[in-house]
Amino acid sequence: MKQLVVLLLAIQIYCAHSQTLTVVDKVTREPIPGVAVLVGKTPPVFTNQKGKVDVTALNGMDSIQIFSSSYKKKMLSFSQLTKLDFKVELEELNISLSEIVVSANRVKEDKLETPNRIQKLNMKEVAFQNPQTTADLLGTGGYAFIQKSQLGGGSPMIRGMATNRVLLVVDGVRMNNAIFRAGNLQQVISLDANALEGAEILFGPGAVMYGSDAIGGVMSFNTLEPKLADSASSFLFTGNALMRTSTANSENTRHLNFTIGMKKWSLVTSYTRSEYGDLRSGSKGGDSYFYRKSYVQTIDNRDYMVPNSDSTLQIGSKYDQTNFMQKIKFQPTKHMEFDYGFHYSETSPFNRYDRLYVMQTQGPYKDKLRWAEWYYGPQVWKMNRLGFTHTKKNIMYNQVRIIAALQNFEESRFDREFMVREIRSQRETVRALSFNLDLDKQLSQKLNLKYGAELVHNLVGSQASLTHVVTQTYDSTVTRYPNGSTWFTNGFYASMKYQLHKKVIVSAGARFSSYKIKASFDTLVFPFPFKTAEMQNSTLNGSIGFVYTPIQSWQMYVNAATGFRAPNIDDMGKVFESTPGYLVVPNPDLKPERSYNIEAGTVKTFSDKLKLDFAGYYTQIVDAMERKDFTFNGQSTIRYQGNKSNIQAVQNVAKAYVYGVQTGLEFNWNGFGLRAAYSWQKGQEQTTDSLVYYPLRHAAPAFGSAHLSYQYKKVKLDFYGVFNDRMDFEELALTERVNTSYAKDFSKDPKGQNYSAGWYTLNFKTAFFLNQYVVVMLGVENILDRLYRPYSSGINAPGRNFIVSLKANF
């Protein structure tokens, strides 16, 4: 009994003399992990995941520094900490050049030392904006333009490039696969916007580090990381939950994630479920041409064209989505780490909305809607990822990282014309295996070397059938891709960074890549002039850049780089109807398209209140792959699904180029903030049979955003505008000018010609941080309820949209 009393007294005496400091965000009241606390040149101690750190050893000290790279530094005495009850609030440092980025060289490094324009999205600001999908998340930064063909979509456009000319990377693994097409893609929505810890956009070619497709840029996403318990505790449990609803599409989103951490083991689990109803567009201004005036209903196996009683309601645009993620980390020693991640995403079937309003122009059902049904089946993405990191200086490296991943993609398409009794289905799968080896070696105080290798293998499955909707009998038909085709690529790279002068850093790198395609074609269902096709090639790419930092608050850079895009299965082997009357067929004679890019930029901060940045660039593409008229078996036309169609194929056209500027401004003073972003780009292409240049598809009109914000104690307000400039008929790509039934994606000028209308929206968001655990967020988008359709999109943007969300941290 006496021993127990002594033990309790000892614990009480220790607690009485032990002091734990808690560091939280001044506005959100959330704990801040990783904050350094030190006196003079003594080794710092850091806050844990709960924002806590033991400062007993600093008792009596007068100048205790408390700082983090993302917050304003504070200097306090121990007596001042006592008066504050050992709870310190730090103010976020919104204006800074010092950021840690990973997209430039696949490892963490100071953004100030990289000769590239990199946008690191502020994840706190992202959470405040409440994007529904990861495509919407990219749009919040102001430098990526988002195209949508349907509500269940979002295709980012960066510097006049899109789809398979920009690269998606998730936790260091490339997401682009062998059937990423030149047409607009929606794979980015497979990523859960609520399960991201960081997101970056590397603008311009990233071929040295990432290989094929990284011409316009690289979008790098880092999902939530498992956190280990610190030395002061043996167990960690944190997480957050979110509920959100939006009126424009009757959104209902629920999200939960939690982390369990121990000394050597940790896991993070994330789950999100979202349901979206039919999207309601705006009702003021705009072009009533975009209204949905009718739709198809099928009753007793007969199709009827039904008037839409509410033309602002885009009937048939609804869908839902489920995301799940499980990650595990094991750290047996301080130098070694293993991590495993499982990612799963599945959507419901969703309509390809821009097909649902196409009208027939001839035949017995002239002036009727062409399609009774046109929808995508569930879009499924699964990834198993295994990583290993070893951080210890030796002759080969200071750090090595190995990533092995298996991804499975599933997608399908179903279409049936008005009053036709057969529905066509096309089902595609891709099994993508990848291996990445990245080594980082500090050769001297001034010289750093990064080198590594990548292997990628894709196996494509493709099935197709025609099914009678009444009898359910079915027949085989031509598949979208050659079934069982393979795409393989490998690459080896090396990159160095050398401090030429205390104010000058030079970076240079090179990569050798090769690829190979094998495909077999079924001549029984389609008159292919060949049964097998094989294609292989290689390419050498390089980059060089200089960073000049005259003072710590001013960076100037210039870089030159090459990039490439290797033909994939979609380029070489696809059969599909691109627009009514145009059939795309395989072309086994493709070669890689190559890009040459030069860029210069500068960024300057003035104190911690103002930041200005500017970048200008020019990119030229040679042997660019574009769809053009083609002869097949000596014929320029073919009958396909009962219709006469002109034949086209993806071919290497002469050249294309795009140039533009990106500029931004950030200002903060006494809680007030001003943030603006602007992008202008112009692109043109020249075909092999003409010396005339025409506008390049995916070179979006000028666009940007401007935010006026205010923060005070527990409240944050943001009033902002988003805008998109007009593009006249002469500024549209040739395929966008053609007056086909798909021209409804564009407005009409007095001559009846297509053009893309300019637009702007006014929006308002607010957040109330009730305490460190609960946040209430409210917003209204498109306050003026404007009717508009973003450039190249096939669905109207949301009308006036009220958003309510509740977030709880624990």
pLDDT tens profile 187-242: 999 999 999 999 999 999 999 999 999 999 999 999 999 999 986 667 899 999 99
Is residue 407 over pLDDT 80?
yes
What residues have CB less than 8 Å from 158, skipping those under 6 apart? Answer: 143, 144, 145, 166, 201, 203, 216, 217, 219
pLDDT digits (tens, 9 = 90+) for 763-809: 999 999 999 899 999 999 999 999 999 999 999 999 999 999 999 99
pLDDT digits (tens, 9 = 90+) for 640-673: 766 778 888 888 877 899 999 999 999 999 899 9
Catalogue the E-assigned strands of 8-63. 20-25, 36-38, 45-46, 52-54
Is residue 691 over pLDDT 80?
no
Tell me if 223 sits within 8 A of 776, measured CB to CB.
no
Residue, of 601 and 734, whose pLDDT is higher? 601
CA–CA distance, 302 with 372 (Å, rounded to integer): 10
Mean pLDDT within 425-443: 97
What residues have CB less than 8 Å from 555, skipping those under 6 apart? Answer: 97, 112, 547, 548, 549, 602, 603, 604
pLDDT digits (tens, 9 = 90+) for 71-125: 888 888 888 888 888 899 888 887 878 788 888 889 888 999 999 999 999 999 9
Residue, of 130 and 752, whose pLDDT is higher? 130
Is residue 391 over pLDDT 60?
yes
Q: What pLDDT is recorded for position 61?
A: 85
Q: What pLDDT is recorded for position 748?
A: 85
At 332, the pLDDT band (50, 70, 90 cuts) reads very high
Q: What pLDDT is recorded for position 641?
A: 67
Is residue 16 over pLDDT 80?
no
Q: What pLDDT is recorded for position 28?
A: 84
Q: What pLDDT is recorded for position 693?
A: 86
Is residue 15 over pLDDT 70?
no
Is residue 5 over pLDDT 90?
no
CA–CA distance, 705 with 679 (Å, rounded to integer): 10
At 578, the pLDDT band (50, 70, 90 cuts) reads low
Mean pLDDT within 587-601: 94
Is residue 725 over pLDDT 90?
yes
Tell me if 494 sits within 8 A of 213, measured CB to CB.
no
CA–CA distance, 277 with 634 (Å, rounded to integer): 48
Number of C-beta neighbours around residue 26 at 10 A: 17
Q: Model's pTM, two decimal places?
A: 0.92
pLDDT digits (tens, 9 = 90+) for 274-300: 999 999 999 998 777 688 889 999 999
CA–CA distance, 574 with 181 (Å, rounded to integer): 10
Minimum mean pLDDT among 41-45, 613-617, 620-624: which range?
41-45
Q: What pLDDT is recorded for position 650?
A: 86
Is residue 410 over pLDDT 60?
yes
Got the DSSP string for 243-311?
EEEETTTTEEEEEEEEEEE-SSEEEEEEEEEEEE-PEEB--BSS-GGGS--EEEEEETTEEEEEE-SST
Query: What tokens does 726 get?
Result: 């007009």
User: Listing from the earlier edge strand, what are the strands of the sheet with 87-90?
Assistant: 52-54, 20-25, 87-90
Mean pLDDT value across the chain: 91
Mean pLDDT within 725-745: 78
Q: What pLDDT is recorded for position 317?
A: 97
Task: Give the 3-state secondary structure of residue 570.
Answer: helix
Q: What pLDDT is recorded for position 58?
A: 85
Is residue 1 over pLDDT 90?
no
Q: What pLDDT is recorded for position 68?
A: 86
Q: What pLDDT is recorded for position 305?
A: 95
Is residue 157 over pLDDT 90?
yes
pLDDT digits (tens, 9 = 90+) for 305-317: 999 999 999 999 9
Is residue 12 over pLDDT 50?
no
At 248, the pLDDT band (50, 70, 90 cuts) reads very high
Residue, of 212 and 17, whose pLDDT is higher? 212
Is residue 10 over pLDDT 50?
no
Burial track 430-455 (b if 16+ CB lie within 10 A, e otherwise)? bbbebebebbbbeeeeeebbbbbebe
Q: What pLDDT is recorded for position 499?
A: 96
Q: What pLDDT is recorded for position 13?
A: 41
Q: What pLDDT is recorded for position 245?
A: 98
At 9, the pLDDT band (50, 70, 90 cuts) reads very low
Which residue in the block uniquely carries the two structure tokens 């002039």? 529
Is residue 741 over pLDDT 70?
no
Positive or negative: CA dihedral 201, 202, 203, 209: negative
Q: What pLDDT is recorded for position 805?
A: 98
Mean pLDDT within 590-595: 94
Mean pLDDT within 548-567: 96
Mean pLDDT within 525-535: 84
Q: What pLDDT is recorded for position 134?
A: 97
